[in-house]
Amino acid sequence: MAKKVTAPPEPKGPRRLGRHTVVRLTTYYLAAALVLLILTTLVPQQQVTPMQGGPTGMADAIDWLRWRLALLPAGAPRWADATVQMVAALLLVLPLAFTYVRTRTRVKYDHSLIQTVVMLPIVITAILVVVQDSLALAFSLAGIVAAVRFRNNLREAGDAVYIFGSIGIGFATGIHAIDVALSLSLVFVLLELTLWKLNFGTEFDDTFKRLCMPSGADLAEPQANVGDVPTPSDGNGRKGADVSLESDPRATVLRVYVLDAGGARPAIERVLERDAKHWAALGAEEGEGTAGGGVLEYRVRPRKSVGLDALRDNLLSEGAPHVIATDEAAPLQRL
Amino acid sequence: MPITAEMSALVAPVGEGDHALGPADARVTLVEYGDFECPSCGATYPVLREVRRAFGPNLRFVFRHFPLRDSHPHAEAAAEASEAAAAQGKFWEMHDRLFEHQAALDGRALARHARKAGLDVERFERELGAGAHAGRVARDVESGRTSGVRGTPSLFINGVRYSGPRDRASLVAALAAAAIASAGVA
């Protein structure tokens, strides 16, 4: 029996980007630009030619200043150059990570993706500094994309954009195009924050209203998405129909073995109402040759103050004599 | 001796002399014939802890000795060591330590386990040296043989030999089925 599940709803109300976010990002970019300017001045990629007779124009003055300040005026060795480029990649990709966290909910947030986004451009930078102007560059790109695609199970299409953004920054810094990387980083962050703020395309209803609906028309009520999931014995399914648990990594599937399902269910659900933050009844399996005995299966996210162990203990003690055992398990394959 | 149908049942019923965890009137009783040096028993030990946790007071768990002397040179001494601990009221502490330190079961290690378990080590070593508990271990072995036990771990659920998978989910399901069946009979 298939169970349809929807993602948890976004919090209602207008989204606020927040002054702190804008101020932090602006400050960060200014500081990053300063650091990058200092780094590239102190450790120039190519040899800085000393000038004869002093600077005559603005461009000459900048070159003269760079020559005077350069720690390695003869041009940085490859390792030093690579280090500068990688630091540049890190500095420029951090706002992407910040934006990702800012624009994702707790449920949608994927910590492994954050690590990928931050680390990927640094790795790519190092690779490209080494294989620049080489046929291997093309193969390395293919390898990077394949590795990310097969190792990271992206939760939504929007996550892929972050992967491409970090790859782009990495490639730009890898071929010493820091200006391009900076530009990409800025544009990316601005665009992503704007799209998130406008909630554009995220909610079907809102997008449909904006693009397709004549003014004043109503959308049809959305279909219930709980499928055939059994609801609790009280019938209203207030918590029992909380299908958002499907994507909650802190939720556990509990198999509750009972002597009498009819007698056990109210006691079990009393405990779940009290000790679980969310729970949903998943199914039931009757034991062979028994009258009412079998397994009741629930997806449960225990309250932090209670914990799973105490919740299981309470099911055993308060569900007696009907409840005989509780076990964590994979969901029933068939109901 | 060929194994017959009768021998798949537990011949010696659980009694006062057994080492048991859980109430005597529990809905289901699980008996293990085990060997402290047996790797399979060591692998089953944490599973059985989880199973006990799953059932709480609805399960009575009984451990009986079945040291495989031929393949496990320290198994007999370890079994007697657990009995020496039982004489001081600490069978289960020793049982857990022995399964958690299966690689260290020689004489010195047993004394160390006894000290860590809070036993009177002098008395423990004296009883172990004199073989004071060898008869108790032998009785368990004999009861196992009469029930058809040939290897370890051998499990009996409500007196019936369990030969299914020894993972947690399978064991919990089998024990629950036995409990439900016995409730239906009652």
State which of A198, A229, A256 marks the end of a domain. Answer: A198
- Kindly state the DSSP code that residue A258 receives in the 8-state scheme: E
> Would the CB atoms of B176 and A324 count as touching at under 8 Å?
yes
pLDDT digits (tens, 9 = 90+) for A135-159: 766 676 677 767 666 566 666 656 7
Instruction: Say if pTM beats, i.e. exceeds, 0.90.
Output: no
Check CB contact under 8 Å for B57 and A316. Answer: yes
Residues on chain A touching B173 (C-beta within 8 angstroms): 257, 295
Task: Name the residue with higher pLDDT: A5 or B41.
Answer: B41
In sequence order, the β-bridge partners of residue B64 are B33
Do B58 and A324 lie within an 8 Å CB cutoff? yes
| Residue contacts between A and B (CB atoms, under 8 Å) | 56
Q: What share of chain A has pLDDT > 90, as a percent? A: 10
Looking at the fold, whether A155 and A250 belong to one and the same domain comes out as no
Domain-located, residue B1: no
Angstrom distance (rounded) from CA A104 to CA A161? 14
Rounded (to 5) percent helix, strand, coil in chain A: 55, 10, 35
Which of A311, A318, A327, A333 should be substituted to probe chain B, the one whose Cβ sees the most B Cβ atoms within 10 Å?
A327
- Is the residue at A230 inside a domain? no
In angstroms, the CA A92 to CA A121 distance is 9
- How far is CA B170 from each of CA A50, A54, B17, B25, B182, rounded to the nearest angstrom? 79, 85, 29, 23, 18
Which ipTM was obtained for this model?
Answer: 0.87
Helix then strand then coil, in percent of chain B rounded to 5, is 50, 15, 35
Question: Quick check: is A58 in a domain?
Answer: no
Cis before A321? omega within 30: yes
Between A259, A293, A325, which is nearest B54 by CB? A325
The parent domain of residue A287 ranges over 243-328
Do strands B28-34 and A294-302 pair parallel, antiparallel, or not at all (unpaired)? Answer: unpaired
Does the residue A265 lie in any domain?
yes
Cβ proximity of A299 and A268 under 8 Å: no
- B154-157 vs B28-34, strand pairing mode: antiparallel
For B39-42, which contacts have Cβ atoms below 8 Å and span 24 or more sequence positions? Answer: B39/B102, B40/B152, B40/B153, B40/B166, B41/B99, B41/B152, B41/B153, B42/B99, B42/B102
Domain encompassing residue B144: 6-185
Question: Looking at the partner chain, which of B169, B179, B184 has a beta carbon nearest the beta carbon of A324?
Answer: B179
Tell the residue number behind the tokens 């860590």, with chain if given: B116
Angstroms from B29 CA to nearest CA on chain A? 13
Within a domain: A216:
no
pLDDT confidence tier of residue A69, bands split at 50, 70 and 90: confident
Interface residues of chain B, partner chain A, Cβ below 8 Å: 27-28, 53-59, 168-169, 172-173, 175-177, 179-181, 183-184
pLDDT along chain B (186 residues), means of 10: 57 92 94 95 94 95 94 94 96 95 91 94 94 95 93 94 92 92 69
Mean pLDDT across the stretch A35-50?
77
Cis previous bond, B153, omega within 30:
yes
pLDDT at B5: 43
Contact B180 A329 (CB under 8 A): no
In this structure, what DSSP letter does residue A49 have? P
Determine, yes or no, domain membership for B62.
Answer: yes
Do A167 and A262 fall into the same domain?
no
Contacts with A3 (C-beta within 8 Å, 6 or more apart), sequence order: A226, A227, A228, A229, A243, A246, A282
Partners of B9 in the β-ladder? B160
pLDDT in tens, A159-187: 777 877 888 788 778 777 787 788 778 87
DSSP H/E element including A253: strand A252-258
Q: Is there a single domain that holds both residue A190 and residue A287?
A: no
State which of A172, A198, A224 marks the end of a domain: A198
Stretch A39-58: mean pLDDT: 70
Reading the block at residue A95, the tokens are 């706002």
Question: CATH number for the domain including A265?
Answer: 3.30.70.1710
Which chain A residues contact residue B58 at CB under 8 A? 316, 324-325
Residue A294: pLDDT over 50 = yes
Structural domain count, chain B = 1
Q: Count Cβ atoms below 10 Å from residue B13 Cβ, excluding itself.
A: 10
Q: Is residue A213 part of a domain?
A: no
Note the pLDDT of residue A159: 74
Q: How many domains are there within chain A?
A: 2
Contact B78, B103 (CB under 8 A): no
Within 10 A of A11 (CB to CB), how many other CB atoms are there? 7
